Amino acid sequence: MQLTDFPSLDPVVWCLVDPRAGNKSQCLGVANALKIPFTKIEIQYGPLAALPNVLLGGSFLGLTHESTLLFKKSWPNILIAAGRRTAPIARSIKKRSGGKTKIIQIMDPGIIRKHFDMVVIPIHDKPSLMRNQVQVIAAPHCITKEQLQCSADKWRKTFSELPRPWVGLFIGGSTRRRKFTHVMATELGSMISNAVQANGGAVLGTTSPRSGDFTSSIIDSLTVPNKIYHFSKDADNPYLGILSLADYVVVTGESVSMCSEACAAEKPVYLYTPTALITEKHKLLHEALIRKGYARRFFGKLENWSHPQLNTANQIAQEIRKRFF
């Protein structure tokens, strides 16, 4: 598609945002990277969304009735979506537009991938070499250098009572396949304590929506100055403040989004990767980040090194422009 196919200078872009934080960050990251206006459409799923995509086809069956009312008969030129459950909705929009809407799907939608104009698949999902596929090293996200600077200015005074250097700790949790145990939590807390004792400083940590009661074991095993924030939808989250101000970052390796976002800051990133927590997919992601110099495994030691900012949203946006603008 050439730019002249669009009715105005900029194409009409929709960003389909579902309730999952990781999907939302990836979608909005790519939409923002296009650097043109876009419409954010926030959807909610009904019970039928749990059905396999091959059964849902291209339809709105997985949406709540209220969410179906968000869509008008004027369809976008480009639709960006992320995650398995958005795939039937994206296909339906393309069908309703008479095939004019170009649908960009972030993350592998499975065997229906041939129905998309562009599918963005990270290396750890082992993408094939179909023409409509784009391979990236890690998940796209919304974090920019400007956001990091603003967050640093906002949180610097709050953290100033703690001695430096600061070690940022991003704590995930159990996944559908693996459990984050109290034993792992105790090990992580002890390893970070040993590293901080060797270098001096303090720990700045934050949990995530998946973090469970094991976080108490992390806190109990910390023997160095620390400030650990517990995730809450109703409280201001220092996540970006910690990422921007920490001298080192340690992140639990079971979250593709957190590992990818940690590499947005040009500072040492360490991955905590206990064998019982990490799936093969996560292992492939870690190997890619380590091979490219964005991260190292955490063995209880911190060193000074740096890397370029990683945000694959820019790569994806460039590919969208090249193919469809």
User: By C-alpha distance, which of 203, 180, 178, 179 is closest to 190?
Assistant: 203
The pLDDT of residue 6 is 45
Task: For the chain, state the CA radius of gyration.
Answer: 21
Asked whether the beta carbons of 28 and 15 are under 8 A apart, the reply is yes
pLDDT per residue as tens digits for the range 245-296: 999 999 999 999 999 999 999 999 999 999 999 999 999 999 999 999 999 9
**Amino acid occupying residue 257:** S
CA dihedral 158, 159, 163, 165 (to 10 degrees): -150
Does 74 score more than 80 pLDDT?
yes
Place 110 in a pLDDT band, splitting at 50, 70 and 90: confident
DSSP conformational letter for 224:
S
Element at 217 (helix H, strand E): helix 215-221
Q: C-alpha angle with apex 20: 17 to 25, nearest 5 degrees?
A: 60
Give the whole-angstrom CA distance, residue 182 versus residue 159: 27
**Amino acid occupying residue 48:** L
pLDDT per residue as tens digits for the range 195-230: 999 999 999 999 998 898 899 999 999 999 999 999
**Amino acid occupying residue 196:** V
The pLDDT of residue 73 is 78
Burial of 204 (0-12, 13-18, 19+ CB in 10 A): buried
Which numeric CATH code is attached to 3-137+313-324? 3.40.50
Q: pTM score, two decimals?
A: 0.89
Give the whole-angstrom CA distance, residue 281 versus residue 123: 9
Place 117 in a pLDDT band, splitting at 50, 70 and 90: very high
Burial of 150 (0-12, 13-18, 19+ CB in 10 A): middle
Asked whether the beta carbons of 78 and 12 are under 8 A apart, the reply is yes
3-state secondary structure 32-63: HHCCCCCEEEECCECHHHHCCHHHHCCCCCCE
Q: Which CATH superfamily is domain 145-297 in?
A: Glycogen Phosphorylase B; (3.40.50.2000)
Does 115 score more than 70 pLDDT?
yes
Give the whole-angstrom CA distance, residue 228 versus residue 168: 10
Q: How many residues does the chain have?
A: 325
With a pLDDT cut of 70, the percent of the chain lying above it is 97
Q: Comparing 63-67, 68-72, 100-104, 300-304, which segment has the lowest mean pLDDT?
A: 68-72
Does 7 score more than 60 pLDDT?
no
| 3-137+313-324 and 145-297 agree in CATH topology | yes
The pLDDT of residue 9 is 66
Exposure string over 52-81, b if 16+ CB within 10 A, otherwise e: ebeebebebbbbeeebeeebeeebbbbbbb
Question: How far apart, in Å, are the Cα atoms of 274 and each of 24, 144, 182?
Answer: 27, 30, 12
Does 143 score more than 80 pLDDT?
yes
Ramachandran region of residue 307, left (φ > 0), alpha (ψ -120 to 50) or beta?
A: beta
User: By C-alpha distance, which of 85, 123, 120, 128 is closest to 103?
Assistant: 120
* Average pLDDT over the chain, rounded to an integer: 93
Domain boundaries, the chain: 3-137+313-324, 145-297
Q: Comparing 64-73, 151-160, 293-302, which segment has the lowest mean pLDDT?
A: 64-73
The residue that leads in pLDDT, 111 or 71, is 71
